[in-house]
Amino acid sequence: MASQNDMGFATYQASGAISAYIAVKIQSDGTITAAANDTAGIGVTQEDVADAGYGNVKLWSAPGTFMVQASGSAITAATSYGIITGGYVGVVTTARVTCLVSAVASNGIVTEFVQV
């Protein structure tokens, strides 16, 4: 059965616990896990999701900005970043998001991005 999402948010079951504001990918069984290694994934979690629990994901197709956790590197406004291991934003060769607000070097700091 096909479905259509016009709102830009969807609920998925987690395979392993996932923190809020982590980029996620969908697996073949329909569960989500943290995206990694410069994959686009499907969007960003909006809350902490327990293993086998259900959580909301803001899909990349949704309008507006995205709050995403960044790696331990400083984040600079107007700079493009990608998704790295653990679903964090970090420096990679393929840009996926652009930062709107600079942030200090602190692992897991949450800041605002727009999709490239």
pLDDT digits (tens, 9 = 90+) for 6-30: 899 999 999 999 999 999 999 999 9
CB-based burial label for 51 (10 Å; 0-12, 13-18, 19+): exposed
Contact 82, 96 (CB under 8 A): yes
Q: How far apart are the first and last CA of the chain?
A: 31
Query: Does an H or E element contain 28, and which?
Result: none
**What pTM did the predictor assign?**
0.92
Give me the residues of the chain with pLDDT under 70, please.
Answer: 1
What local confidence, expressed as pLDDT, does residue 1 receive? 62
Domain regions of the chain by residue span: 9-59, 66-115
To the nearest whole number, what is the mean pLDDT of the chain? 92
Among 15, 17, 12, smallest CA distance to 43 is for 12
Contact 9, 59 (CB under 8 A): yes
DSSP 18: B
